[in-house]
Amino acid sequence: PLGRPKSIRRALHLAPPWLLDDYIPRYHLISSVDAARKRSEAYAHLRECNLCPRLCGVNRYEKTGVCLIGAEKVKVNTIAPHFGEEPCFQGHNGSGSVFFSGCNLRCVFCQNHDIAHQPNGFDLTPEELAEWYMKLQEVGRVHNINLVTPEHVVPQVVLSILHARELGLRLPVIYNTSSFDSLESIRLLDGLVDIYLPDFKVWNNATSKRLLKADNYTATAMESIKAMHAQVGDMCFTADGIAKKGVMVRHLVMPGLEDEGREIVKWLAENVSKDMMVHIMEQYFPRAHVGKPRRGAAKEGVVVVEPGGVKASSDTKPRVRYQDINRPVDLDEVASVREAAEKARLWRFIEAAKHGGFNI
């Protein structure tokens, strides 16, 4: 009939669940009672250390365990704005990275061997560490506080975050880990960490024993990543493309081990989340002990073949340690893992931003 408006269908755009209008770091949302409880638990962990599956059980006020780090201070190699992270973490101003010395793994191929396996750096109390967080925020104007290889210093990290909260820290905290954490450690971090950035290195136990020098790595990584995801969920961003909350899993594809990478991405999709953000990394290169002469070879006059140096001749190859991974990863191996991830219905991948900006 005349005068009756024609029916109009309106299409409304709803923001995806991973887009945030604003973000308040989780450590500002816990009560003073919970903060006091976490401080007490942190000191208890240091008196009988169970921060990782090695379960040293030592009183770190008196002696050290596998990680060689005591109780009252942490050893830090570098603190600075870092531009080598994923675009959603480094942004324009960098990620406020704190590289801790020491590690509870002994990866023979460690890509940060000079930091993680060497006692280099300077000692800081949790309070001094918190003051460095503030310098990164106020002077560096970084987008987050990125704690790199912190598995063995979780109690000190907890104390530092709680102190920085009182000083006025307002940046998201990233826990950048190998995933060789105990559940007790992950529970202690609940409410203090905004972003978990775990590696999932290898799949087979034989591989972890040989290359990581650790038993039950895979089962531990599974347990840890599930616990992390239960706390913060899938990765979320503000409209500027900066990550604020969630889990991103990294997998460094290694030469000849792409089968293990395919199992890892399949497990993530089937057991954690198909919306999991994943970074399939291709920058593996022989480092640390890989490519060094076998023990005793130097006495026999064999020329040392350094990673990236002159290709070893056929008669010297058998004398090189970890010969099977003594080469850069092939891009076909990386593509194989990516294909398996897509087949498992994972779809949120980190890739180099060709437009030079952010890449969600």
Residue 72 DSSP symbol: S
- Six-digit token string for 227: 């616990």
pLDDT given for residue 74 in this prediction: 92
Chain mean pLDDT for the chain: 88
Residue 127 corresponds to which tokens in the numbers above? 């309070």
Q: Are the C-beta atoms of residues 247 and 278 closer than 8 Å to each other?
A: no
Please state, for a pLDDT cut of 70, what percent of the chain lies above it.
87
56 is in an annotated binding site: no
Is the residue at 306 inside a domain?
Answer: no
In a domain, 138, yes or no: yes
- Residue 1 resides in a domain: no
Kindly report the backbone phi and psi dihedral angles of residue 99, in degrees, each rounded to the nearest multiple of 5, phi listed first: -95, 110
Q: How confident is the model at residue 25 (pLDDT cuts 50, 70, 90)?
A: very high
Mean pLDDT calculated for residue range 335-341? 98
> Quick one: CA dihedral 186, 123, 121, 130, positive or negative?
positive
125-155 residues labelled b (16+ CB within 10 A) or e (exposed): ebeebbebbbebbeebebbbbbbbbbbbbbb
The answer to whether residue 319 scores a pLDDT higher than 60 is: yes
Q: Does residue 5 lie in a domain region?
A: no
Which pLDDT value is given to residue 62? 87
Under DSSP, the state recorded for 7 is P
CA end-to-end distance (rounded Å), the chain: 50
CB 238 within 8 A of CB 279: no
Closest of 349, 197, 92 to residue 360, by C-alpha: 349
Which CATH number goes with the domain that contains 70? 3.20.20.70
Let me know: does 240 contact 202? Beta carbons within 8 Å.
no
In order of 7, 123, 144, 211, the CA distances from 119 in angstroms are 72, 10, 26, 21
Length, in residues, of the chain:
360
Q: Greater confidence, 220 or 313?
A: 220
8 touches 154 (CB < 8 A): no
Is 49 part of any known ligand binding site?
A: no
243-252 and 195-198: which strand pairing?
parallel
236 labeled part of a ligand binding site? no
Measured distance CA(322)–CA(109) in Å, rounded? 9
Helix 126-135 and helix 154-167: axis angle, to 10°? 50
Which residues, 6+ apart, have CB-to-CB distance to 110 below 8 Å? 103, 116, 117, 287, 288
| Residue 163 tokens, joined | 């102190």
Mean pLDDT of 323-335: 95
For the stretch 180-235, pLDDT in tens is: 999 999 999 999 999 999 999 999 999 999 999 999 999 999 999 999 999 999 99
Determine, yes or no, domain membership for 252.
yes
pLDDT band at 17 (very low <50, low <70, confident <90, very high): confident
Which residue do the tokens 């599956």 mark?
53
Q: Which two tokens stand for residue 274?
A: 């198909």
Query: pLDDT band at residue 307, thresholds of 50, 70 and 90?
Result: very low
Which pLDDT belongs to residue 71? 81
Nearest to residue 198, comparing CAs of 125, 105, 290, 113? 105
204 within a domain of the structure (yes/no): yes
Tokens linked to 44 = 């208890």
The dihedral over CA atoms of 317, 287, 226, 188, expressed in degrees to the nearest 10, equals 140
Structural domain containing residue 109: 26-299+321-344
99 has pLDDT over 90: yes
**Nearest alpha-carbon partner for 171 in 199, 209, 143, 195:** 143
3-state secondary structure of 240: coil
Count of domains forming the chain: 1
Residue 38 CB-half CA count within 13 A: 26
In-domain check, residue 3 = no
Contact 116, 191 (CB under 8 A): no
> Is residue 13 a part of any domain in this protein?
no
37-83: per-residue pLDDT in tens?
A: 999 999 998 888 888 888 888 898 888 888 878 888 999 999 999 99
- At 114 the pLDDT is 77
Instruction: State the pLDDT at residue 227.
Output: 98
